[in-house]
Amino acid sequence: MTMKQSLLSISVAALAAAIWMAPTPIGAQNQNKPDFNGIWGGGIAQLTPTTCKQKVDAFPQDSERFSAGGAKGGLKWITFEQDCSIQNRGRVNKPMYKPQYWEKVRLHDYYANAGGQWLEYADPEWLNLPRGVPRIGPPNKIVQTANEVIFLYENQNQFRVVPTDCREHDPVLKYDQSFNGLAVGCWEGDTLVVTSMGFTDRTWLHWSGYIHSNEMTVIERLRRQGDTLIYQATVEDPVMFLEPWKMDEIRLNLNKNPGAQLMQDVPYNDKSLGNLVDPNYRG
């Protein structure tokens, strides 16, 4: 082999190694990923999933007592608020707090709308504060690009911009305390995993008084199954929790109406904090 051939062979080998070691261009890792673009459970369709989907039906359907208005079964005796409350407190899936925090959770639940001297236990929603992540739930519309997703919500017209290039959380911003936290996304196969930190402790996880600390981390997982968006959130709170809380899975259908638009919400809704007569009847 001549000197010229040897140099050419070395150059080709070096070029191949450089190409092999070159970083993947931003957005390339998102190629052939599922398409999340569209309105999910929003617009003309149902706005957001409610806490109570099932009714308590502990009484015979054929009874005629208190049937005015077409109520059937248990609905003849139990109001929606009490019904919802009973079902919710019977849920098996709930956050497991460290022993010293259960009394605080109970007080937040009981005095959520009492106001006055109990204002420190008020539900943030009754104070007209944003729901925050993860209480706000899955987005009602997603705009997806090569290196980010934009989540739009029909709740107080909120939005979140999530980079999907697996970057590290900003070393400064991740310590800010905001309602929705600082989010970073990364693809795990066909699942988009969004990890958020930097939360304020002014939000709740649920209207049952489920509070959290400002050291909370939320991991949201989104995947598409046909025309259904499957959303599941896990909450980690090393301060208050004994273990991470994997919240119930939520499924939203794609709105296929070509004329559908995301509905605007009012930015402020006065919930009349303190007008509840008896906290026992809060739904």
Residue pLDDT, tens place only, 154-165? 899 999 999 999
**Cα angle: 251, vertex 255, 259; to 5 degrees:** 165
Q: What is the pLDDT of residues 63-102, one digit of tens each?
A: 444 444 445 555 555 555 556 677 777 888 999 999 999 9
User: Is 212 part of any domain?
Assistant: yes
Q: What are phi and psi of 109, to 5 degrees?
A: -65, -50
Rounded Cα gap, residues 110 and 193, in angstroms: 34
User: Is 30 part of any domain?
Assistant: no
Rounded Cα gap, residues 160 and 222, in angstroms: 15
User: Is 10 part of any domain?
Assistant: no
Q: What is the pLDDT of residues 105-114, one digit of tens each?
A: 999 999 998 8
User: Is 82 part of any domain?
Assistant: no
Distance of CA 130 to the CA centre of its chain: 13
Higher pLDDT, 190 or 46: 190
- Tell me the two tokens of residue 173: 């911003």
Q: What is the pLDDT of residues 208-222, one digit of tens each?
A: 999 999 999 999 999
> How many domains is the chain built from?
1
User: Is 183 part of any domain?
Assistant: yes
Query: Cα separations (Å) of 46 from 41, 43, 53, 58?
Result: 5, 7, 13, 28
For the segment 221-242, the average pLDDT, to the nearest whole number, is 98
Res. 2 pLDDT band, cuts 50 70 90: low
- Tell me the two tokens of residue 237: 């709170």
Q: What are phi and psi of 67, to 5 degrees?
A: -95, 10
* pLDDT for residue 34 is more than 50: yes
User: Is 122 part of any domain?
Assistant: yes
Please name which of 212, 32, 35 lies closest in space to residue 135, comparing C-alpha atoms: 212
pLDDT at 205: 98
Domain of 248 in residue numbering reads as: 38-48+95-271
User: Is 252 part of any domain?
Assistant: yes
pLDDT at 22: 43
Res. 20 pLDDT band, cuts 50 70 90: very low
User: Is 76 part of any domain?
Assistant: no
